[in-house]
Chain A
């Protein structure tokens, strides 16, 4: 059969945040997307395609914006793209359950470009809210085709594609007062029936953000997520580890003919270290981020921002920065990426530089091990909780100090949308959080872990490792630790998960990370560690250089070597000062 010539249509998707734009994008493209930069911008634009008949549609997912003239980076990008004329047609996605607000953007876009299709999404939600919408009347009032969809239920997608390929040039329209016009048009086209759901939502909201229950509820929820992540990760971690061990034996067998140094360097060095990082890093992230994305999907995250804005404002931030700190608990690299939600450039930089002070999943094992070894009974969980709090406060204080140090510019007005609660879409959550966050980050970590493993193996099999530890010893002692610990911190640069294995490796003098996995941690007690050592190590674990993955992310987010260097030195300086002070105080006791 001969292939028919394929026509290509580029379609831009524009719309407010929270109108189901990504859901529609995924429903149209089947989740196949690739993120590419557009004309040198750092903010990525997702693209994806689908083929219907002999037309190939390429969808361009523009950042969600409320308007095009608000002055934000996202808004400028969206407006520039629409005006560039690269897209054959712009689809403006509106929210059926609150048409009035989303029409404002639609009218602004109609002023900019000549070929528009308006897609009123979330019609299922609108129906539940008792809203009746007259699509024909809306189409007549706007002078462009209108399609009603419910992307979550895959309703109206074919009609949308049909309208897109049929759409004709309508010429630019001159809407002088988009806000008033949107109100007038929405009033003509919608009829509001009785709305019971809205009132129920408000009741839920009143409890979730109430002055007495709001913050305790939120803390409980976050603690629960952390607990379930740590507890739940044990099983898949053990499973992965046994798989990795089998791979180790297999590789050793394959390379049995090769010279000892080669199989040592490749298998004991690179493979064992990389496998170790993946085994410990992947499961907690694969649990934490889907849970966090559920909170995002149901609309709880803006409520966290609402609750914490007061505290964050005192250190020159805003409620949304609290969300990036929460993400940092999962992985600092994801936290740094999350800083995109901050509109003010100054706030965003401060948030990026201080995110690594929040302890991530990779540092929990260290904190928990030290806490449980050196503090008996009820003190152990308390010490870990204290560490998490100290990390969060450290990040807030540092970002406050940076705010004070820099000349103040006018910060954009803080406006936070509180979207209605929605049912989460579980499949989409799993895909999005696994692919976007977990896999992406693990691959970055692997890139550093493998070469670091090689270096570690070389050092461990020569007297160099203990000599390095000896060299670092004076500095380590001044900070209340010792050379071995400091060296382990240096070698956990690829991933914080490596701290404990490298410490054990140095203490036992074993040749490979593979052989220390079953050495008891009681060894630390025999190595002359005291509770003072544990306190200083825990403090330095919170405040030291971010891991390589996080630094790479800082660079890819800021595109600035200066800021990446600052992200390295700022927490390190804080950690060194803090540990020296702690050492002076604790040794006096």
Chain B
């Protein structure tokens, strides 16, 4: 099943299939190792839900919902 990363519930993980954002955003995500094919799991959301903590490649990063909407993942 494919969906955008913001809809993945905490505790679930998926493989990134496509990143739809601008070149600048892709570039920034690349420096954290976030590219198509990366396994990402959702850890928790901030109060209010604006920011989500993700685990990938052994580290944890936080991103905003508006940008998670541009990342498509396949549920695993």
A, B in one complex: yes
Residues of A with Cβ closer than 8 Å to B? 65-67, 69-71, 75, 97-101, 104, 179-180, 182-183, 202, 205-206, 209-212, 214-215, 302, 306-307, 309-310, 313, 319, 410, 412-420
Q: Which residue of B has the minimal Cβ distance to A305?
A: B62
Known: A97-B58, A206-B44. A413 touches B35 (CB 8 A): no
Give Cα A209–Cα B50 distance, bound, in whole angstroms: 13
Q: How far is the CB of B23 from chain A (nearest CB, A)?
A: 10
Indicate if the CB atoms of A310 and B47 lie closer than 8 Å: yes
Indicate if the CB atoms of B31 and A416 lie closer than 8 Å: no
Indicate if the CB atoms of A310 and B21 lie closer than 8 Å: no
Known: A67-B30, A412-B24. A310 touches B67 (CB 8 A): no
Q: Which residue of A has the minimal Cβ distance to B47?
A: A211
Give Cα A179–Cα B44 distance, bound, in whole angstroms: 25
Among B35, B38, B44, B60, which residue has its beta carbon within 8 angstroms of that of A417?
Answer: B60
Q: How far is the CB of B76 from chain A (nearest CB, A)?
A: 16
Give Cα A458–Cα B15 distance, bound, in whole angstroms: 73
Q: How far is the CB of B11 from chain A (nearest CB, A)?
A: 11
Among A65, A97, A416, A420, which residue has its beta carbon within 8 angstroms of that of B61?
Answer: A416
Give Cα A415–Cα B61 distance, bound, in whole angstroms: 7
Known: A309-B51, A414-B64. A70 touches B46 (CB 8 A): no
Give Cα A499–Cα B74 distance, bound, in whole angstroms: 62
Among A183, A307, A412, A418, which residue has its beta carbon within 8 angstroms of that of B57?
Answer: A183
Among B29, B37, B43, B50, which residue has its beta carbon within 8 angstroms of that of A415?
Answer: B29
For B26-53 the 0/1 string (1 means CB < 8 A from A) is 0111111101011000011111101101
Indicate if the CB atoms of B50 and A413 lie closer than 8 Å: no
Most chain A CB neighbours (cut-off 10 Å) among B22, B32, B46? B46
Q: Which residue of A has the minimal Cβ distance to B60?
A: A418
Give Cα A319–Cα B32 distance, bound, in whole angstroms: 18
Q: How far is the CB of A129 from chain B (nearest CB, A)?
A: 9
Indicate if the CB atoms of B30 and A98 lie closer than 8 Å: no
Among A71, A100, A206, A417, which residue has its beta carbon within 8 angstroms of that of B28?
Answer: A71
Per DSSP, are chain B's interface residues mostly helix, strand or loop, or mixed? mixed
Among B27, B35, B43, which residue has its beta carbon within 8 angstroms of that of A71?
Answer: B27
Pick the 5 closest A-B CB pairs, nearest first: A67-B31, A98-B58, A310-B50, A70-B31, A66-B31
Q: Is B9 an interface residue (CB 8 A)?
A: no
Known: A209-B46, A413-B21. A309 touches B64 (CB 8 A): yes
Task: List the B side residues contacting A412 at CB < 8 Å.
Answer: 24, 28
Q: Which residue of B has the minimal Cβ distance to A309?
A: B51
Indicate if the CB atoms of B62 and A416 lie closer than 8 Å: yes
Give Cα A179–Cα B27 distance, bound, in whole angstroms: 12
Q: How far is the CB of B34 from chain A (nearest CB, A)?
A: 8
Q: 14 other contacts beyond A183-B33, A415-B28, with CB at 8 A cut-off?
A: A99-B58, A104-B31, A104-B33, A179-B30, A209-B47, A214-B46, A306-B53, A313-B50, A313-B64, A319-B51, A413-B29, A414-B63, A415-B62, A416-B51
Indicate if the CB atoms of B64 and A410 lie closer than 8 Å: no
Known: A100-B57, A179-B35. A413 touches B46 (CB 8 A): no
